[in-house]
Amino acid sequence: MVHETHTFLAETTGMAGFEAILWERGPDMLQRCAGDASPMGGALDVAAARHWDVIPSRYGAAMPSGTVTDDILETWWAEVRSDLDVALAGGGLDGVLLILHGAMVFASHADGEGEVLRRVRGHLHERLGTAGDLIPIAADLDLHANTSDVMAANASVLTAYRKNPHTDAREAGMRAAQFLQRLMSSGEATHVVRLAPPVIYSPKGTGTDTEPMISLQRAARRLEAEHPEFLEVCVLGGFAYADIDCVGVSFLATTTGEPSAARDSLRPLAAEALRRCDEGNPLDPPTDDVMRQVLASGQQGPIGLIEPSDNIGGGTPGDGTGILEAFLRFGVDNAVVILNDPEAAKACHARSVGDRLRLPVGGKVDRFHGATITLEVKLEKLTDGRFDLENERSHLASLIGRHVNMGPSAVVRAGGIRILLTTHKTPPMDLGQLRSQGIVPEELYIVGIKAAVSHKAAYDPVLTASYYVDTPGLGSSDLRRFPYKHVRHPVRPLDD
């Protein structure tokens, strides 16, 4: 079950949100993920190499978005519970492998993965008593997991992505499966310990090519090398836009040794994460200042304007008009923005390529992402919005595998600005998104990018320069703007 939940968004995430991305059961799940760069793909490769008899249950993933409705949990659990019973009644059950994100919030369970793990562990105990407690449960997590003590207490081993952009999601799934193999063979007892300093990092502060994550990841690898009793040490940057008690940075260690000793060895990492709060919360400059600087510089393209405030990979609507508005006002040429606007895409699909039309675009989902802008546009391209990843190790692969469906899409032109309109919001994590629509990224002067960090693997190799800008939106890098009610206090930077 994979979801990163942005609880400040008004819209909820229900079955349609999962069915649009990934909601597969049984053998279909194996077929869908076999050999791809997702954690499930990696785990299944280990399973095949180790000749596991796999009982596939249910795999669900939705794009990052609002709070997940309870029916998703209950539907998933009814199927998984029944599959666990079938396995127990058949040849027995050696282990359970879960592919998780770690920042999922259900309407009735703020700690989504804690509830998932608690139910699986609880059911095994209910059926088999103490023998059920010995069946290992392994799970992998996204680097943006908001971990909890309930998660740690109910898992035998937890692994996590180490890179952001998440180019190593597959490896985290593989390690979870390899550790599960080890525990199934050896019968070793493990503990997962957790330490969470009182600090939240914004998504932009969690990139692993910048501090503080470089140092924290390095320290985690050092601990693994120094402590043979550790299976894995995880550095979780957390997902800031979850108004829950356990939001923020945390560290996990899975150990065959003393839990208290393992927790002690995490203390220096936790202290460093807290001390480097400011580096984990870099703020963005005003858009107009950046536009003036870019235009005055004479810099050749392609130049990227990055807006974390409408970071689709962080759950925002993807229809924010902040950058489009600036491009129009500054009269830039050879520019591209991508807006998720199903209504505008549909209006285009009712017309023909070459038509001119008056089209309201963007700013439609809520009042936080800029105003809707009505433009006279020329319709340049219509597609079904499907593309295959150009880079198989794209951050997007960690979410949905290699086939991407933006839904009916259109490219329209207003003066020197082209706008790609999509029906399903699609994070800008792979250049196939533009190229499949006839837009050559290398030939652009300037491109608006709705991301914080996850775009970097795709865009950085082709951009001559990139600049962060502070546009209106619920992915703002300034966490003090958000009306948190349920976080623990004190916590930095909210209580600075």
User: Stretches 134-142, 257-265, 277-285, 372-380: which one binds Zn ion (CB under 5 A)?
Assistant: 134-142
Residues numbered 337 to 356 that lie near Zn ion (CB under 5 A) are none
Mapping DSSP onto H, E and C, the string for the chain reads: CECEECCCCCCCECHHHHHCCEEEECHHHHHHHCCCCCHHHHHHHHHHHCCCCCCCCEEEECCCECCECHHHHHHHHHHHHHHHHHHHHCCCCCCEEEECCCECCECCCCCHHHHHHHHHHHHHHHHHCHHHHCCCEEEEECCCCCCCHHHHHHCCEEEECCCCCCCCHHHHHHHHHHHHHHHHHHCCCCEEEEECCCECCCHHHHCCCCCCHHHHHHHHHHHHHHCCCEEEEEEECCCCCCCCCCCCCEEEEEECCCHHHHHHHHHHHHHHHHHCCCCCCCCCCEHHHHHHHHHHHCCCCCEEEECHHHCHHHCCCCCCCHHHHHHHHHCCCCEEEEEECHHHHHHHHCCCCCCEEEEEECCCCCCCCCCCEEEEEEEEEEECCEEECCCCCCHHHHHHCCEEECCCEEEEEECCEEEEEECCCCCCCCCHHHHCCCCCHHHCCEEEECCCCCCHHHHCCCCCEEEECECCCCCCCCHHHCCCCCCCCCCECCCC
Q: Which is nearer to Zn ion, 220 or 332 (CB)?
A: 220
Is residue 456 involved in binding Zn ion (CB under 5 A)? no
Stretch that binds Zn ion, among 143-151, 359-367, 420-428, 435-443 (CB under 5 A): 143-151
Q: Report if residue 140 touches Zn ion, rule: CB under 5 A.
A: no
- Interaction between residue 144 and Zn ion (CB under 5 A): yes
- The correct pick among 142, 232, 341, 430 for binding Zn ion (CB under 5 A) is 142
| Minimum gap (Å) between residue 133 Cβ and Zn ion | 31
- What is the total count of residues that contact Zn ion (CB under 5 A)? 2
Nearest to Zn ion of 181, 311 (CB atom): 311
Selected range binding Zn ion among 37-45, 87-95, 144-152, 169-177, rule: CB under 5 A: 144-152
Quote the least distance from Cβ 235 to Zn ion, whole Å: 13
- Shortest gap between Cβ of 140 and Zn ion (angstroms)? 12
CB of 143 to Zn ion, least distance (A): 5
Instruction: Tell whether residue 276 is a contact of Zn ion (CB under 5 A).
Output: no
Question: Which residue sits closest to Zn ion, CB atoms considered?
Answer: 144
Q: Which is nearer to Zn ion, 142 or 232 (CB)?
A: 142
Stretch that binds Zn ion, among 45-53, 135-143, 148-156, 439-447 (CB under 5 A): 135-143
302 prior amide bond cis, ω within 30:
yes
Residue among 89 and 214 whose Cβ is closer to Zn ion: 214
CB of 425 to Zn ion, least distance (A): 16
Nearer to Zn ion, 43 or 439 (CB): 43
Nearer to Zn ion, 241 or 327 (CB): 241
Least distance (Å) from Zn ion to the CB of residue 165? 9
Task: Report in angstroms how near the CB of residue 423 gets to Zn ion at its nearest.
Answer: 24
Of 142-150, 244-252, 316-324, 442-450, the window that binds Zn ion (rule: CB under 5 A) is: 142-150
Residue nearer to Zn ion on the CB measure, 165 or 322? 165
Kindly tell me which of 184 and 399 has the beta carbon lying closer to Zn ion: 399
* Nearest to Zn ion of 111, 142 (CB atom): 142
The contact set with Zn ion (CB under 5 A) reads: 142, 144
